[in-house]
Structure 1
Amino acid sequence: MPLQKGYLADHPSAVAALAQLRRGAGKEFQQVPDLWGRLDLSPLHHQSAETAPLRERELTWAEDAVHVAVTLWALHQQSRSSAMHRPHTKELPTGLGAAVRQLVPDDERGEPVRKRFVRVGTAATLRELADRLRGLVVLLRGEDIAVDYALLAGQLYAWQQPGGRDAVRRAWGRSFQAYRPRSAADNDNNDNSLDKDAS
């Protein structure tokens, strides 16, 4: 993500863009006209030869999904010296559910965070969803827990489609349930297997 690289390198234009984008967190695309042109949405308008152009409704879904994801990332990245957007991998899961699960201790102290996550899953509108996600992002920022915002944008796009909410909720719930912190034994086993492969 070029904007993240610029911010982490302390480029003034990237720092200013991030500050401007943060103001859009939790708001809808059309509510923040001063952000128009801050996001490069041209790929949504110029499809390749292999794909059909997006219809008006799909284009609106895509614009809204990108807007919500990027403004949430800008809020998350604020005052952080490490990247808060990190691509999801099996080894380092950064899907929304896995990220939130890292906030939840194994005892009852984690119940308020779990309830917030459940509220995200019950949002009825994109505006409500964006607002509830904003609250989770503030918690994740406080613990320096990264999220895959490209994955989140794709999920927000799917969430707006007919039948998409259930699929996205399932993905978030599965990610939350499946996440397990890496133990010292896992790290040792991975280090040993790497040593064996290298010999």
Structure 2
Amino acid sequence: MTGDTATMPTVRQRVGQITGEIIAPLQQGYLKDQAHAVAALARLRRGAGRKYEQVPDLWGLADTSPLHEKPQNGGRAPSEDELTRAEDAVHVALTLWALHQQSRGTAMHLRDRREKPTGLGAAVRGLMPKDEITEPVRKRLVRAGTAPDLPSLAQRLRDLVLLLRGEDIALDYALLAEQLYRWQQPGGQDAVRRAWGRSFHAYRAPDDEHDPEDSGSNASPLSADTTDKDAS
């Protein structure tokens, strides 16, 4: 019993798992120019900057139903507050990823790994020249960390995501979703800021620009009509 409880994923961990599970097939499909995935990303992008409850069109597309399930190994179902935080975290992460992936020919969601960090801090550091700190960019990260509420944070992250998209720099959106959930908890903002700062300082310039290891990242490039099909 104790062992089962110890291995039971927390709500925060389930938020990350669900986010990754939603993104993986959509990312693969988008990189293969599959119509259903292209349309799904267009719908997700329309939800960017809007609250979860304001975009019922995404209900079902961004399936958070596993959050409502009571764990089979005896754990409790999430509380109403936990569900609200979880739904909001998944929604913000998914819509930011859809914006990030738009018109990109490689995967913009990549898992954070020690040898190739893709946490938010590391991704922002990747925007800067090697061994230099670009102060305006650093201040954007700091500004995100000091956002007064989740809608403000989502908007400030959107500005960073647009910069990352312009440089083809990937981000771990499952990790970001977990951090967005944690950010909404009491004392969570300090913990998330610490994680972003640690990620920023842990970054090391990669030898290669792209890593084929991850869902969709080894798929064929987008076709030449990317701009047209992403216009919606």
The TM-score normalised by the length of structure 1 is 0.88
Matches within 5 A, 1:1-199: 1-50=24-73, 51-105=75-129, 106-107=131-132, 110-182=134-206
Shift of 1:176: 0.6
Higher helix share: 1
The equivalent residue for 1:191 is none
Question: Contact (CA 8 Å) 2:116, 2:206: kept in 1 or not?
Answer: no
Given that 1:27 and 1:131 are in contact with CA atoms closer than 8 Å, whether structure 2 keeps it comes out as no
State the number of aligned residues.
Answer: 183
Unaligned stretches of 5+ in structure 1?
185-199
Q: Which amino acid aligns with 1:141?
A: R
Summarize the Cα distance change of 1:67–1:170 in structure 2 as closer, same or farther, 3 Å threshold.
same
Does the 8 Å CA contact 1:68/1:130 hold for their aligned counterparts? yes
Question: Sequence identity, in percent?
Answer: 68
The one-letter code matched in structure 1 to 2:51 is E
Larger radius of gyration: 1
Alpha carbons 1:120, 1:133 under 8 Å: kept:
yes
Deviations for 1:140-198, whole angstroms, at most 9, x for unmatched residues?
Answer: 000000000000000101110111111011000110122121469xxxxxxxxxxxxxx
2 CA distance for matches of 1:99 and 1:40? 27
Task: Output the CA distance in 1 between the equivalents of 2:111 and 2:206.
Answer: 18
CA contact (8 A) 2:89 2:177 kept: yes
Question: Offset at 1:47?
Answer: 3.1
Residue 143 of structure 2 aligns to a residue whose secondary structure is: helix
CA RMSD of aligned residues (A): 1.4
**Structure with the greater relative contact order (CA < 8 A, sep ≥ 6): 1 or 2?**
2
Once the two structures are TM-superposed, the CA of residue 31 in structure 1 deviates from its matched residue by 2.2
* Rounded Cα–Cα distance in structure 2 between residues aligned with 1:89 and 1:153: 16
